[in-house]
A and B are shown apart, each in its own frame.
Chain A
Amino acid sequence: MGKRSMLGRSVPGNSILHRLDARIKFLAAILIMVATLSIRDVRVMGLFILWTLVLMALSGIRVSIILRSVRPIVVIILFAVILHILTVDGHILFAIGPVRVSQEGLLAGLMTALRLSLMIINSSLFLTLTTTPLAVADALESLLSPLRFLRFPVHEFAMMMSIALRFVPTLMDEAVKIMKAQSSRGANYDTGGILKRAGGLVSILVPLFVSSFRRADDLAVAMDARCYQGEKGRTRLYTARLKFPDLAFLALVIFLLSFSLVSSRILPALTGVLGAAGG
């Protein structure tokens, strides 16, 4: 009970985003990640914010749930912002003791915060919120399939990922239950030195491992009973042929990426070259 982690939990729905091919979403997540991280221009940032807002609206998922995905990296974002404010010089806006806050520093910090947030929101919209873990695993399997020639066990890898995701909530509940059971026997996990606390962990980890092995055993038998025989002859439910919306979406993402790259890398370089030539 209590709060549950959002890890590996998709929100069911039937939006355009939900219906896109998982492989396209996987690629889109990577491309948008590169794109957001290379944004330098404020106007481009505006464009990407608009893009993300549109995606959020299209997904039909409650905003509070989407924003929850940023929570795990709030500390990192804050750290980056503070670092920028402290290190970037420029017009001093105000000073608190020895700390001088410049306009440029504030802007740089804000841009970093936005870059990281947009990156996380985009990739969780694509990969965790609108796509079931099994579809992600299927997509990964399909995208990694060239690695087969290097004898990389692509299918097994994808299957392992999906089963791990399936059991995250189950094992978390179990860990809580075991911890409560040992607390009831007088175990104390809150006080004492590091060594004592680490010793206390044994009383949680051993039962947790034992039960995980038993679950693994049971699961293997259950998979056997349902005729699992590796990837041989197996139907892939989610990797159908790509449809027009999939390709159109990918084209849009590539356009956005190139826009961001051109504006942040190529244009400054060009102006630099031209400026040098002119001067």
Chain B
Amino acid sequence: MWDTVIEFQAVSFAYGAMQGQRPVQAVRQVSFSIEKGAHVVLLGRNGSGKSTLARLMNGLLVPDEGQVLVDGKSTADDDSVYEIRRKCGMVFQNPDNQIIGTTVKDDIAFGPSNLGVPAGEILERIDRVLAMTGLEGLKDRAPHELSGGQKQKLAIASVLAMEPDCLILDEATAMLDPVARRDILELVQKLKRERGLTVVQITHHMEEALLADYVYVIGMGSIAFQGTPAQVFDQMDRVKAEGLSVPAHLEIARLVAAKTGRPYERDEIISFDGAVASVRRALKDLPQGTVRSCARAPAGQEVEMVLDVRDLSYSYDSPAGAPIAALHSVSLSVRRGEILGIAGHTGSGKSTLIQHFNGLIPAEQGKIILLGSDLSNRRVIREIRRQVGLLFQYPEDQLFEETVALDIAFAPKQQKKSPQQVEEAVLRAAKRLGIESILDRSPFELSGGQRRRVAIAGVLAAEPEIVILDEPAAGLDPAGRDDLFRDLLTLQSEGATLIVVSHDMELMTRFADRILVLKEGAVAGIGTPSEIVASEGFLEDAHLDMPAPKRFLDALREEYRDLDTSCFTITDAVDALLAAGGR
């Protein structure tokens, strides 16, 4: 028993039980234990209760029934709770809301100060954890001068300064871009290796689960099933039933095995290389088929341009004084009815670019023609904003009315429509996003995914011809992400032109007709998904990820010369592989 760090014994927990409201059961009868030095992942979709479990681990919440033991001591025991919190350090989802200090140094000092560590020792620890997390040189920076990834590293550093045994990451990578996410994961792996930390990671990113020793899948507040990553992902249907997905290489290997009738090794296909090897074997005995192409006809083939940008440049004042170029001579055009993806690393100028499209930022240099109007004429801006709907990242943060219906009505009311027209517009927008049933509820009592839909409906209610969305799927779990993008495709089929900003290349290649890649404020390339992924090293150079299905097919390209590697969905990739057949 000595090597168990955290132990849950038949734990139940409900929110609101204390305040006399109707309690909401978040965790039911959960029992499990985490061994010292283990790397455990809790997987589950939004609202499954996984964050509640995390907060029960270090006494931030105390069970209604059962008990949680950390090193044999109960979290309900007031005498040991601070010792437990020191041992089990926690990193939260929102980088901004967990930094207490006004500088990096001060924030790291916060924890040890609370523990009464002598000042001299605290200063030593500050330097030590800065080195461990690779934040040397940022000691005196203010939190708002850090990038999202740096903020999360700071959160980890601040926890490390308390010398914990166990690191709990509560969706700590959910708000980061892929590059920063990988950075954080590598840091956690390093800390685990070098310092023997126990790691408990709460996430809905499947790739993160592959790094674990053991995975618990959480659904409806209890453990739905559990096992090693290989055991868990082997139950593909159960994983999907929980609103999660399976890593692409694993799913491709499974589907190829099923279609060819060849067995697969569960523990082999858990790794990317293993999955490739498994597919290679399965295809060997297959007769060579006809070559199959994944190419689909891109929408918006009509030549009408709804947006034409010529040589747009923009720079802003930096705190240091010298202006920083955010956009450098950007030119692009958007065709009516297409989905244009804009991809780029954090700080590549994506967000600055789209704010030009509805006149939030006037063009300093260059020309923007939108639906035939030149945006340098500021008098057209109001009309343009009606025709162009723009949704920022986490648009649910802009909701403010008492009911969902009133909030969606905000935009049509600004257009001075009659009450009846407004009502119709609200209903139409709500129906499109499947939220007609919650029109009378307060937006503030809804789940994150529902609030996101309300915010999108709020923009659609103005019935814009062009809709611009900045990272529309950020923070959503796999099922939520797919649902949202299906809605966007419906919107497109009804005639809307969509501009979607994202750094998720997997979603972009699946849904966009064309993709524009921005790199350091300049256009690195624009083309169909196939064209964008075609040249080797191009995406890597722009700090973007190669979509997983394409990466899988590329690994087999040497053997199968005719294989169409530009497939972006799992089923397309499997079909292409089966068609390429044996050698």
Interface residue from A166, A222, A227 paired with B92 (Cβ < 8 Å) = A222
User: B371-399 toward A: CB 8 Å interface, digit per residue (1/0)?
Assistant: 00000000000100110111110010111
Tell me if B444 and A221 are in contact (CB < 8 A): no
In whole angstroms, what is the CA distance A202 to B401 when docked? Answer: 9
In whole angstroms, what is the CA distance A235 to B352 when docked? Answer: 44
Q: Kindly identify, within residues 152 to 199 of chain A, every residue whose CB is under 8 Å from any CB belonging to chain B.
A: 162-163, 165-166, 169-170, 173-174, 177-178, 180-188
Whether, in the assembled complex, A233 has its beta carbon less than 8 Å from a beta carbon of chain B, the answer is yes
User: B221-258 toward A: CB 8 Å interface, digit per residue (1/0)?
Assistant: 00000000000000000000000000000000000000
Chain A residues contacting B110 (CB-CB under 8 Å) are 223, 226, 228
In whole angstroms, what is the CA distance A235 to B142 when docked? Answer: 21
In whole angstroms, what is the CA distance A10 to B159 when docked? Answer: 25
Whether, in the assembled complex, B98 has its beta carbon less than 8 Å from a beta carbon of chain A, the answer is yes
B449 to chain A, nearest CB (A): 17
Tell me if A170 and B100 are in contact (CB < 8 A): no
Tell me if B118 and A184 are in contact (CB < 8 A): no
In whole angstroms, what is the CA distance A222 to B117 when docked? Answer: 19
In whole angstroms, what is the CA distance A132 to B102 when docked? Answer: 7
Selecting from B275-283, B410-418, B513-521, the interface stretch reads B410-418
Whether, in the assembled complex, A225 has its beta carbon less than 8 Å from a beta carbon of chain B, the answer is yes
In whole angstroms, what is the CA distance A166 to B104 when docked? Answer: 11
In whole angstroms, what is the CA distance A163 to B143 when docked? Answer: 12
Selecting from A35-43, A69-77, A207-215, the interface stretch reads A207-215
A89 to chain B, nearest CB (A): 45
Whether, in the assembled complex, B495 has its beta carbon less than 8 Å from a beta carbon of chain A, the answer is no
Whether, in the assembled complex, A60 has its beta carbon less than 8 Å from a beta carbon of chain B, the answer is no
Tell me if B102 and A227 are in contact (CB < 8 A): no
Whether, in the assembled complex, A31 has its beta carbon less than 8 Å from a beta carbon of chain B, the answer is no
Chain A residues contacting B415 (CB-CB under 8 Å) are 186
Selecting from B81-89, B184-192, B522-530, the interface stretch reads B81-89
In whole angstroms, what is the CA distance A261 to B275 when docked? Answer: 84
Minimum CB distance partner of B88 in chain A: A225
Tell me if A169 and B144 are in contact (CB < 8 A): yes
Whether, in the assembled complex, B360 has its beta carbon less than 8 Å from a beta carbon of chain A, the answer is yes
Chain A residues contacting B397 (CB-CB under 8 Å) are 174, 177-178, 181, 207, 210-211
Tell me if A235 and B100 are in contact (CB < 8 A): no
Tell me if B85 and A227 are in contact (CB < 8 A): yes
Interface residue from B55, B140, B386 paired with A186 (Cβ < 8 Å) = B386
Tell me if B444 and A185 are in contact (CB < 8 A): no
Chain B residues contacting A203 (CB-CB under 8 Å) are 400, 410
Chain B residues contacting A235 (CB-CB under 8 Å) are 112-113, 115-119, 122
A65 to chain B, nearest CB (A): 9
Minimum CB distance partner of A183 in chain B: B360
Chain B residues contacting A240 (CB-CB under 8 Å) are 119
Tell me if B385 and A184 are in contact (CB < 8 A): yes
Q: Kindly identify, within residues 269 to 313 of chain B, every residue whose CB is under 8 Å from any CB belonging to chain A.
A: none
Looking at chain A's contact residues, the main secondary structure is helix
B55 to chain A, nearest CB (A): 7
Tell me if B55 and A165 are in contact (CB < 8 A): no
A168 to chain B, nearest CB (A): 9
Selecting from A1-9, A47-55, A142-150, A267-275, the interface stretch reads A1-9
B433 to chain A, nearest CB (A): 16
Number of A residues, CB within 8 Å of B? 56
A182 to chain B, nearest CB (A): 6
In whole angstroms, what is the CA distance A81 to B410 when docked? Answer: 48
Tell me if A188 and B398 are in contact (CB < 8 A): no
Interface residue from B100, B141, B358, B444 paired with A166 (Cβ < 8 Å) = B100
Whether, in the assembled complex, A254 has its beta carbon less than 8 Å from a beta carbon of chain B, the answer is no
Whether, in the assembled complex, B9 has its beta carbon less than 8 Å from a beta carbon of chain A, the answer is no
Tell me if A184 and B459 are in contact (CB < 8 A): yes
Tell me if B385 and A132 are in contact (CB < 8 A): no
Tell me if B122 and A237 are in contact (CB < 8 A): yes
In whole angstroms, what is the CA distance A181 to B119 when docked? Answer: 45
Whether, in the assembled complex, A44 has its beta carbon less than 8 Å from a beta carbon of chain B, the answer is no
In whole angstroms, what is the CA distance A202 to B400 when docked? Answer: 8
Whether, in the assembled complex, B106 has its beta carbon less than 8 Å from a beta carbon of chain A, the answer is yes
Known: A170-B144, A186-B386, A215-B97. A234 touches B113 (CB 8 A): yes
Tell me if B103 and A233 are in contact (CB < 8 A): no
B152 to chain A, nearest CB (A): 13
Interface residue from A177, A218, A225 paired with B58 (Cβ < 8 Å) = A225
A185 to chain B, nearest CB (A): 4
Chain A residues contacting B100 (CB-CB under 8 Å) are 163, 166, 219, 222-223, 226
In whole angstroms, what is the CA distance A165 to B100 when docked? Answer: 10
Tell me if B102 and A178 are in contact (CB < 8 A): no
In whole angstroms, what is the CA distance A226 to B94 when docked? Answer: 16
In whole angstroms, what is the CA distance A228 to B448 when docked? Answer: 29
Chain B residues contacting A219 (CB-CB under 8 Å) are 97-98, 100
Tell me if B360 and A180 are in contact (CB < 8 A): yes
Whether, in the assembled complex, B162 has its beta carbon less than 8 Å from a beta carbon of chain A, the answer is yes
Chain B residues contacting A233 (CB-CB under 8 Å) are 114-116
Interface residue from A173, A182, A228 paired with B398 (Cβ < 8 Å) = A182
Tell me if B358 and A236 are in contact (CB < 8 A): no
Known: A219-B97, A226-B85, A236-B119. A187 touches B360 (CB 8 A): no
In whole angstroms, what is the CA distance A180 to B41 when docked? Answer: 38
Whether, in the assembled complex, A248 has its beta carbon less than 8 Å from a beta carbon of chain B, the answer is no
B441 to chain A, nearest CB (A): 15
Tell me if A8 and B102 are in contact (CB < 8 A): yes
Interface residue from B96, B116, B316 paired with A2 (Cβ < 8 Å) = B316
Q: Kindly identify, within residues 460 to 486 of chain B, every residue whose CB is under 8 Å from any CB belonging to chain A.
A: 462
Whether, in the assembled complex, B458 has its beta carbon less than 8 Å from a beta carbon of chain A, the answer is yes
Minimum CB distance partner of B82 in chain A: A227
Tell me if A237 and B414 are in contact (CB < 8 A): no
Whether, in the assembled complex, B574 has its beta carbon less than 8 Å from a beta carbon of chain A, the answer is no
Chain B residues contacting A3 (CB-CB under 8 Å) are 317
Contacts A/B (CB < 8 Å), 14 sampled: A1-B352, A2-B316, A134-B102, A134-B103, A180-B392, A181-B391, A185-B458, A202-B400, A206-B400, A211-B397, A228-B110, A229-B114, A235-B112, A237-B109
Which of A's residues lie within 8 Å of B, judged by CB?
A: 1-4, 8-10, 12, 64, 132-134, 162-163, 165-166, 169-170, 173-174, 177-178, 180-188, 202-203, 206-207, 210-211, 214-215, 218-219, 221-229, 233-237, 240
Other contacts beyond A1-B326, A184-B358: 13, CB < 8 A: A1-B316, A132-B103, A170-B96, A180-B355, A180-B360, A181-B390, A182-B398, A184-B385, A184-B389, A184-B392, A225-B58, A226-B89, A235-B118
4 tightest A-B CB contacts, nearest first: A186-B414, A12-B140, A218-B97, A206-B400
